[in-house]
């Protein structure tokens, strides 16, 4: 049975989806982009007749859209609950990133040391068996087994002061350990920050900051630090000393300064004059 | 001490982490802002382009003393503060009337920017009937040889795609295709330093039955319709561009060993199943093969005897 005539008749009911172009479009499906380098009708594009121009643009743009849609519809598809999704390849065009490629996190002092010594961390279970209660309890932290407070009896070691509160001693030791760890943590943070800003010696930065804090704290007394004891090696504070010129100068000098200023203004590159600063200078 | 910003709670930590450099980045956000003076045409163009870029855009409604071609610092500060890497600045002056600056930043430093003058504009509200959903991915069509011939045209094409492409996905919903951005380059003037007109049009797309697999496409303009002419440009320098287009190691396609694919998309490989234990295999259940209650009990007792534990009753 010949169905070609029936097919032809069916096809004629609809508008065509085919578009002819001399040079095929360059299609980057990852970005849903088509580039058409076919020659355009310059006479229409140059004409002053915006209606004709817009009509022409609409026509060629529809053709481009049809070609792009055709290539999207020829992609393999997958169906989800309520949609058909055409799979797209990776984009071909290179687009710049927003931010740099992430750098690896700087190692802490311990991690550096462990690396050189070849120490590998072993995974410890988070909970340990507590024989007293027969339960698994956290190794540390809330309800942890290493809590000094929890012990009901603490041995007084040989040679220790019998009158010392052993519980208090344990508490103090723990506090000291926590503080020390916090200092180490802070140091690691500072060193990694220095590394990221490519400062070779973080200690120099620390010193500067310490001196600044010292100066600030010394001037924070009621007398602005006037009666404070001087420290050894105290940094000198560089303040702003105000200088006033005398009001009665001879005419020649005044003329010279004004001319100098004027020259500066006239010769300066455009946009480099700070008006407020200039007024300030003139007032002096 | 070096100042180390440390978030005080997990919400702010999440916020700061989100601003860090990432291997797989989120969609670039655009900052849409006005210069010291703007015309009505520029204002409408900004509003329309902002609507096209939504939801990944921040729009400022006040004036800003910003001249990115003279001093980049104030704009870079704004980009950093809002964590945006694209910008669209609208200005209007006697020297450069109806001016738009498209640009983008890499690491909060301006990478490239292109200034265009608007020569003809029809705002979006004129085309009232056709609109697309917020956040839909647009199609792009670039027409004209100029996009292959001139450096600033090529940069403008790259910038426009980067500006409006939306979220990258590995597939697109065939019924979710709603609009297209069409950019057509008019004839180029003989003078190399001058730019021709660039026709920026946005069309909504309708897919109709065609009797074949591919649908028939019908387009209606949805606006804005803008004619640009490129003015000043600041293109990316080679080094920064190379830095900015680096692909992180995580994104490289890994070669998977011993698995092949053919042209039809079928996968071939050798699968190792291990030894088959025929005596333990679950076969068809039959009453005759079932253990009686006594057999079960004796088996259980054997097992308990084996592991050396004692039965206490």
Task: Identify the band that residue B4 occupies on the pLDDT scale cut at 50, 70 and 90.
Answer: low
CA distance A16 to B212: 9
- Give the CB-side neighbour count of residue A246, counting CA atoms within 13 A: 5
Number of structural domains in chain B: 1
**What's the confidence (pLDDT) of residue B271?**
86
Of B22, B171, B218, the CB nearest to A85: B171
Confidence of residue B113 (pLDDT cuts 50, 70, 90): very high
Beta bridge partners, B121, equal B226
* Domain assignment of residue B228, yes or no: yes
B15 is a domain residue? no
Q: Which of A158-167, B2-11, B164-173 has the lowest average pLDDT? A: B2-11
Which residues of chain B lie closer than 8 angstroms to A17, CB-CB? 210, 212, 214-217
Closest Cβ–Cβ partner in A45, A88, A102 for B22: A102
Please indicate, yes or no, if residue A26 is contained in any of the structural domains.
yes
- B302 in a domain, yes or no? no
Question: CATH number of the domain that B217 lies in?
Answer: 3.40.50.10480
Residue ranges with strand state E in A43-193: 77-79, 84-87, 127-130, 135-138
| Mean pLDDT taken over chain B | 88
Nearest CA to A88 among B23, B159, B167? B167
Cα–Cα nearest to A191, from A106, A114, A104:
A106
pLDDT at A7: 74
Establish if B18 belongs to a structural domain.
no
User: Is A2 a domain residue?
Assistant: no
| Contacting residues of B for A94, CB less than 8 Å apart | 245
Q: Could you tell me the pLDDT band of residue B311, with boundaries at 50, 70 and 90?
A: very low
Residue range(s) defining the domain that contains residue A51: 7-86
The per-residue pLDDT for A94 is 92
Of A169, A201, A216, which residue is a domain's last?
A216
Exposure string of A212-241, with b = 16+ CB inside 10 Å and e = fewer, is eeeeeebeeeeeeeeeeeeeeeeeeeeeee
A42-46, B56-60, B97-101: the lowest-pLDDT one: A42-46
By mean pLDDT, which of A89-98, A198-207, B18-27 is the weakest? A198-207
* A68 touching chain B per CB within 8 A: yes
**Is residue B312's pLDDT more than 60?**
no
Q: What's the mean per-residue pLDDT of chain A?
A: 86
Question: How high is the pLDDT of residue A22?
Answer: 85
- Interface predicted TM-score of the whole assembly (ipTM), two decimals: 0.78
B99 within domain boundaries: yes
What is the rounded distance in angstroms from the CA atom of residue A26 to the CA atom of residue B126? 32
Interval B115-125: pLDDT, tens: 999 999 999 88
Name the nearest CA neighbour of B184 among A26, A208, A64.
A64
| pLDDT tens readout for residues B193-249 | 888 899 999 999 988 888 788 899 999 988 799 999 999 999 999 999 999 999 888
Q: Is the peptide bond before B224 cis (omega within 30 degrees of 0)?
A: yes
What are the pLDDT digits (tens) for A15-34?
777 888 888 889 999 999 99
Mean pLDDT calculated for residue range B52-61: 92
Q: Tell me which chain B residues have a C-beta less than 8 angstroms from the C-beta of A11.
A: 211-212
Whether B17 has its CB under 8 Å from any CB of chain A: the answer is: no
Whether residue B31 lies inside any domain: the answer is yes
| A143 dihedral zone (left: phi>0; alpha: psi -120 to 50; beta) | left
How do beta strands B139-143 and A33-36 pair?
parallel
pLDDT digits (tens, 9 = 90+) for A213-244: 888 888 888 888 888 888 887 877 777 788 88
Q: Which residue has the higher pLDDT, A284 or A60?
A: A60
How many angstroms separate the CA of residue B15 from the nearest CA in chain A? 16
Average pLDDT over residues A65-70: 93
Residue A158 lies in a domain: yes
Does B281 fall in a domain?
no
DSSP per position, B11-70: HHHHHHHHHS--SS--PPPEEEEE-S---HHHHHHHHHHHHHHTTSEEEEEEE----TTT
Please provide the distance, in angstroms rounded to a whole number, between the alpha carbons at the two ends of chain B: 72
Question: Residue range A153-180: average pLDDT?
Answer: 90
pLDDT tens for residues A50-64? 888 889 999 999 999
B140 CA to chain A: closest CA distance, Å? Answer: 4
Give the per-residue pLDDT at B310: 47
Q: What is the structure's pLDDT at B231?
A: 92
- Token code pair at residue A252: 């020649």
Residues from chain B that touch A72, judged by Cβ atoms under 8 A, are 172, 174, 177
Q: Give the total number of structural domains in chain A.
A: 3
B107–chain A Cβ distance below 8 A for any pair: yes
Among the candidates A216, A237, A265, a domain finishes at A216
User: How confident is the model at residue B304, as a pLDDT?
Assistant: 67
Q: Is the pLDDT of residue A131 over 70?
A: yes
A54 and chain B in contact, CB less than 8 A: yes
Domain of residue B77: give its range: 24-234
Contact B54, B135 (CB under 8 A): yes
């Amino acid at each position: 049975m010949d169905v070609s005539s029936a097919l032809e008749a069916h096809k004629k009911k609809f508008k065509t989806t085919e578009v002819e172009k001399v040079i095929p479009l360059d299609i980057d499906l990852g970005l849903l982009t088509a580039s058409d380098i076919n020659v355009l009708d310059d006479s229409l594009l140059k004409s002053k007749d915006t209606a004709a121009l817009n009509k022409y643009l609409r026509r060629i743009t529809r053709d481009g859209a049809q070609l792009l849609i055709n290539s999207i519809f020829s992609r393999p598809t997958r169906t989800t609950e309520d949609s058909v999704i055409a799979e797209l390849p990776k984009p071909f065009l290179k687009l710049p990133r927003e931010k740099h490629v992430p750098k690896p996190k700087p190692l802490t002092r311990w991690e550096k040391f462990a690396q050189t010594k070849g120490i590998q961390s072993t995974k410890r279970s988070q909970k340990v068996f507590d024989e007293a209660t027969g339960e698994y309890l956290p190794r540390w932290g809330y309800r942890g087994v290493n809590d000094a407070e929890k012990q009901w009896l603490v041995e007084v070691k040989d040679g220790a002061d019998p009158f010392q509160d052993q519980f208090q001693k344990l508490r103090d030791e723990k506090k000291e350990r926590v503080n020390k760890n916090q200092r180490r943590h802070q140091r690691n943070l500072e060193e990694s920050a220095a590394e990221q800003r490519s400062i070779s010696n973080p200690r120099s930065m620390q010193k500067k900051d310490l001196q600044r804090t010292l100066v600030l704290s010394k001037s924070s007394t009621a007398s602005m630090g006037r009666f404070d004891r001087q420290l050894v090696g105290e940094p000198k504070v560089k303040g702003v000393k105000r200088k006033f010129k005398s009001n009665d100068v001879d005419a020649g000098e005044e003329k010279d300064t004004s001319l100098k200023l004027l020259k500066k203004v006239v010769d300066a590159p455009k946009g480099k004059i700070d008006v407020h600063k200039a007024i300030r200078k003139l007032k002096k | 001490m070096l100042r180390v910003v440390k978030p005080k709670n997990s919400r702010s930590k999440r916020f700061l982490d989100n601003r860090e450099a990432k291997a797989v980045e989120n969609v670039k956000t655009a900052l849409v802002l006005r210069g010291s003076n703007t015309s009505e045409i520029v204002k409408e163009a900004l509003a329309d382009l902002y609507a096209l870029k939504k939801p990944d855009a921040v729009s400022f409604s006040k004036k800003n003393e910003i001249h990115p071609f003279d001093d980049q610092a104030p704009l870079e500060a704004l980009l950093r503060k809002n964590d945006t890497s694209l910008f669209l600045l609208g200005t209007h002056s006697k020297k450069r009337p109806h001016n738009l600056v498209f640009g983008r930043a890499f690491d909060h430093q301006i990478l490239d920017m292109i200034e265009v003058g608007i020569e003809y504009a029809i705002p979006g509200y004129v085309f009232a009937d056709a609109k697309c959903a917020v956040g839909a991915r647009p199609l792009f069509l670039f027409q004209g040889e100029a996009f292959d011939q001139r450096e600033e045209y090529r940069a403008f094409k790259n910038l426009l795609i980067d500006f409006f492409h939306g979220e990258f996905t590995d597939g697109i919903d065939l019924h979710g295709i709603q609009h297209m951005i069409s950019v057509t380059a008019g004839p180029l003037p003989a003078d190399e330093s001058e730019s021709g007109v660039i026709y920026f049009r946005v069309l909504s797309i309708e897919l109709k039955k065609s009797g074949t697999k591919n649908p028939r496409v019908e387009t209606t303009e949805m606006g804005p319709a803008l004619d640009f002419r490129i003015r000043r440009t600041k293109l990316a320098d080679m080094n920064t561009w190379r830095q900015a287009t680096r692909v992180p190691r995580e994104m490289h396609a890994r070669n998977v060993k011993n698995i092949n694919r053919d042209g039809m998309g079928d996968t071939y490989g050798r699968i190792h199943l291990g030894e088959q234990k025929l005596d333990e295999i679950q076969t068809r259940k039959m009453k005759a093969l079932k253990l009686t209650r006594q057999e079960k009990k004796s088996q259980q007792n054997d097992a308990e005897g084996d592991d050396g534990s004692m039965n206490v009753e």
